[in-house]
Structure 1
């Protein structure tokens, strides 16, 4: 792959877009292993294909774009987390 400036870019074999950043297979595996393949919200076992990766501290709130700031969540916990973040930012606009 070549960037718009003509610089050669090598992309990892597989990437997933998560919360404004790309997460590699290696980072996903590291996060899952760190959490013992359990949801960071409810501690339920995580199932391949339905695991959501997100930032512990959102980047917009000053969170870092580092593997240590990622967490793995089940769909239910991820949905609830996104709802709370949206409500938090809606309150700031008022």
Structure 2
């Protein structure tokens, strides 16, 4: 059964994702990691904002992506590096 299609600008919650939002993102990505295309499973899928809210990213479905543990770790590492360098953060 296919879920309803949600527009990319549909808002998502600040703290918790609805089952519908999770299904929409996984369906959009064909149950594959946005970073490396590895197959995702329910027990080890991370949902992140492509562009973090603190960097001006929106809390919308279009800015949400599903990642495997390795790509999530890399994504978080890049964000930490960005904030460790105040000059780079100002220029983003």
TM-score, scaled relative to structure 1: 0.74
Question: What are the ranges of 5 or more consecutive residues in structure 2 without an aligned counterpart?
Answer: 1-13, 88-92
Larger gyration radius, structure 1 or structure 2: 1
Work out whether 1:25 is the aligned partner of 2:25. Answer: no
CA contact (8 A) 1:39 1:72 kept: yes
Offset at 1:68?
Answer: 1.4
Question: What are the ranges of 5 or more consecutive residues in structure 1 without an aligned counterpart?
Answer: 1-19
Q: Which has the bigger relative contact order, CA under 8 A and spacing at least 6? A: 2
CA RMSD of aligned residues (A): 1.2
TM-score, scaled relative to structure 2: 0.76
Counterpart for residue 86 of structure 1: 80
1:5-84 maps to which residues of 2 (within 5 A)?
21-84=15-78
SS in 2 for 1:49: helix
Moved over 4 A (4+): none
Offset at 1:82?
Answer: 0.2
Between Structure 1 and Structure 2, the one with more strand by share is 1
The number of equivalent residue pairs is 74
